């Protein structure tokens, strides 16, 4: 498979200030890749230390071969999983076109490892280990990555307040953690639909998303080649992969949601567990009795999974089979370390429907399911809205955190207005910052194409960068340790007219540089003490620096200001040298 080559200028990893570096835990042989941004000296000759930033791009690889299995030895060393034959390849997994053709569009031809799962009676989840006081290499990796003590990682995972999504069949992924005590994470959705896209494009979007900083990626494919697209994505993904298995299950029954059964769903979940999916959205909170609560809404049910389940429940006059078989799902997930992403199938799809009875009824059930999963030592996060007016955003996360005993919240935006299709990355980043500030652990990005079409690669980039802004702004607002370092380094570079450093420290160096160069393209402008916004005479930072150069630091400026105040007073009093005694002059 040929992938579109990324131009050097468009690849942030290739920016001249950037180098790949590693944080190293020698004792345990763990190396965490990071991006080191090298900075120039200040004009006064003092050096500026490099800034090291979190890196999600992975080591890179030929996409036809896939990434090396970073975690394979760690998993094997625990001695609690067995290799087994796995499900038999079924062309039906890739849809009717594949059955017709006798093959998927582009079969995966890279590394193929037999699946593993927990030995009978064992549980292999990070939560299970954490609760038993076992510190795994995954936890050490994450501790280095977050810059915190590994005990904080272990205890938060043990308490259910954080998850490390890490299917034993996705050893390529670099461990990461999702929880309110850690940096806010960003998920990027990719995936084809019946109307558009190819495997090649989806793998390119994955690579693109992780280069710009996506912490996890969800493959939401609903079109052809679902199984094979997912295989390509998993084998190439350095970040955890999430899915919504009901989409594939629905494909398997020809798109007729009334034909769905627990058996088809269960088989699909196992298929995806064996491939290595790290977390799955399960709409087990859409209960039959909640569906009528949506009947008076402006936009009904806008979750695809939610609407499928709601239709099934009413059509069958039955309770949601995901709810009824939830413990069985827990048993499966415990054998692969798949995390639940408890779907908010009844989330609001418009401001008008926000924080309503249907939404909060489902949340009550998600809280119950969180506790049931924890009884199996299965990791859980809880999904949240959606579309919510700005003043109602905070209630969502505070209610979820309280009801779900601090299980990580994972929200889509929320969008704070419905009037800007084409700009919903922005409408939702506003709500995302607010909801993350109050404790949401991961934000699902929204691209400019939301509500209008599937994102292309540019949209993926815009969506990821917009959400890195929201996540970072929330980290700063939460006072997360060190969160402001990069801001401060960039601001210092700005004040000192170190243009290259400003570009290098920004989320999108090449774009920042290109915008600068549009009006001042010449190379000397890169060292100019002004820019095209103000020109040299009006550059406030230059004047501000001149003030410091001329009048010194705060103490010296105080002295000048003090003298001046005296002189002003002198003039005001008419310039007389001998003043009347204030005590007597009152007469």
CA atoms within 13 A on the CB side of 103: 5
Q: Hey, which residues between 362 and 401 contact its own copies (CB under 8 A)?
A: 387, 389-391
In whole angstroms, how close is the CB of 584 to its own copies at the nearest point?
A: 28
Distance CA 53, CA 50 (A): 10
Residue with tokens 């080591």: 59
Question: With CB under 8 A, what is the number of residues at the site for its own copies?
Answer: 135
CA nearest neighbour of 225 among 98, 112, 131: 98
When the beta carbons of 159 and 507 are compared against its own copies, the nearer one is: 507
Q: Based on the shown chain and the rule CB under 8 A, indicate whether residue 64 belongs to the binding site for its own copies.
A: no
3-state SS, 428-480, equals HHHHHHHHHHCCCCEEECCCCCCCCCCCCHHHHHHHHHHHHHHHHHHHHHCCC
CA distances from 179 to 30, 182, 183, 409, 440 (A): 22, 6, 8, 8, 8
Q: Cβ 330 to its own copies, closest distance in Å?
A: 20
How far apart, in whole angstroms, are the C-alpha atoms of residue 449 and residue 447?
A: 5
Of 259, 372, 426, 457, which lies in the binding site for its own copies, with binding defined by CB under 8 A?
426
Residue pair 156/131 in contact by the 8 Å Cβ criterion: no
148 is in an annotated binding site: no
Q: Is 273 annotated as a binding residue?
A: no
Helix (H) or strand (E) holding 219: strand 216-219
201 belongs to an annotated ligand binding site: no
CA dist., res. 382 & res. 397, Å (int): 10
Contact criterion met (CB below 8 Å) for 175 and 150? no
**540 part of the interface to its own copies, by CB under 8 A:** yes
Contacts with its own copies in 471-530 (CB under 8 A)? 472-474, 476-479, 484, 486-488, 490-492, 494-495, 502-503, 505-508, 511-512, 515-516, 518-520
Q: How many other C-beta atoms are found inside a 10 Å radius of the C-beta of residue 316?
A: 14
Within 230-259, the residues that bind its own copies by CB under 8 A are 247, 250, 255, 257
Judged by CB under 8 A, the chain residues 278 through 297 that form the site for its own copies are: 288-289, 291-296
Cα–Cα dist 391/406, whole Å = 22
- State in angstroms the smallest separation of the CB of 424 from its own copies: 9
Please tell me whether residue 92 binds its own copies under the rule CB under 8 A: no
105 sits near its own copies (criterion: CB under 8 A) = no
- Of 39-47, 87-95, 270-278, 347-355, the segment contacting its own copies by CB under 8 A is 347-355
451 is in an annotated binding site: yes
Among 98, 157, 217, 308, interactor with its own copies by CB under 8 A: 308
Q: Has 346 been labeled as part of a binding site?
A: yes
Q: Report the nearest approach of its own copies to the CB of residue 173 (Å).
A: 26
331 annotated binding-site participant: no
* 320 is an interface residue for its own copies by CB under 8 A: no
Cite the annotated binding site for substrate by residue number: 189, 218, 247, 283, 303-305, 344-347, 383, 410
């Amino acid at each position: 498979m040929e992938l579109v080559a990324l131009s050097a200028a468009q690849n942030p990893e290739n920016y001249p200030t950037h180098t790949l570096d590693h944080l190293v835990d020698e004792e345990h042989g763990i190396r965490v890749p990071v991006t080191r941004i090298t900075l120039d000296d200040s004009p006064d000759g003092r050096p500026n230390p490099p800034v090291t930033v979190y890196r999600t791009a992975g080591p890179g690889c030929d996409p036809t071969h896939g990434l090396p299995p970073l975690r394979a030895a760690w998993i094997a060393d625990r001695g609690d999983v067995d290799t087994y034959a796995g499900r038999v390849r079924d062309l039906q997994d890739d849809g009717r076109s594949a059955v017709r053709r006798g093959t998927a569009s582009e079969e995966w031809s890279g590394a193929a490892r037999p699946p593993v799962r927990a030995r009978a009676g064992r549980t292999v989840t990070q939560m299970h280990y954490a609760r038993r006081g076992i510190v795994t290499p995954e936890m050490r990796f994450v501790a280095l990555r977050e810059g915190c003590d590994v005990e904080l990682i272990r205890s938060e995972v043990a308490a259910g307040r954080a998850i490390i999504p890490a299917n034993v069949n996705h050893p390529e992924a670099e461990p990461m953690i999702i929880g309110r005590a850690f940096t806010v994470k960003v998920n990027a959705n990719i995936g084809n639909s019946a109307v558009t896209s190819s495997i090649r494009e989806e793998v390119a979007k994955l690579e693109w998303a992780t280069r710009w900083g996506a912490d996890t990626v969800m493959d939401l494919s609903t079109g052809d080649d679902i199984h094979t697209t997912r295989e390509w994505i998993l084998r190439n993904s350095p970040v955890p992969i999430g899915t919504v298995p009901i989409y594939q299950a629905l494909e398997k029954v020809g798109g007729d949601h009334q034909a769905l059964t627990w058996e088809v769903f269960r088989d699909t979940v196992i298929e995806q567990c064996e491939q290595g999916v790290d977390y799955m959205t399960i709409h087990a909170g859409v209960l039959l009795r909640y569906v009528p609560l949506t009947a008076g809404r402006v936009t009904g049910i806008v979750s695809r999974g939610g609407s499928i389940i709601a239709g099934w429940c009413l059509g069958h006059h039955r309770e949601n089979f995901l709810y009824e078989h939830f413990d069985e799902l827990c048993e499966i997930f415990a054998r692969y370390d798949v995390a639940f992403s408890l779907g908010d199938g009844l989330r609001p799809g418009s401001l008008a429907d926000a924080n309503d009875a249907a939404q909060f009824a489902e949340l009550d059930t998600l809280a119950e399911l969180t506790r049931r999963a924890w009884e199996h030592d299965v990791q859980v996060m809880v999904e949240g809205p959606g579309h919510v007016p700005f003043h109602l955003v905070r209630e969502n996360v505070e209610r979820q955190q309280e009801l779900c005993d601090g299980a990580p919240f994972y929200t889509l935006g929320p969008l704070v207005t419905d009037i800007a299709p084409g700009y919903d990355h922005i409408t939702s980043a506003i709500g995302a910052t607010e909801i993350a500030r109050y404790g949401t652990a991961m934000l699902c990005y929204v691209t400019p194409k939301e509500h209008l079409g599937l994102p292309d690669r540019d949209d993926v980039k815009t969506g990821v960068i917009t959400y890195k802004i929201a996540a970072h702004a929330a980290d700063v607002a939460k006072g997360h340790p060190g969160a402001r370092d990069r801001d401060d380094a960039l601001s210092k570079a700005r004040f000192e007219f170190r243009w290259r450093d400003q570009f290098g420290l920004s989320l999108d160096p090449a774009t920042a540089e290109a915008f600068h160069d549009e009006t001042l393209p010449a190379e000397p402008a890169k060292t100019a003490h002004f820019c095209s916004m103000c020109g040299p005479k009006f550059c406030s930072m230059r004047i501000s620096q001149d003030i410091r150069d001329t009048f010194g630091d705060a103490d010296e400026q105080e002295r000048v200001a003090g003298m001046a105040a005296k002189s002003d007073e002198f003039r005001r009093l008419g310039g007389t040298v001998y003043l009347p005694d204030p005590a007597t002059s009152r007469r």
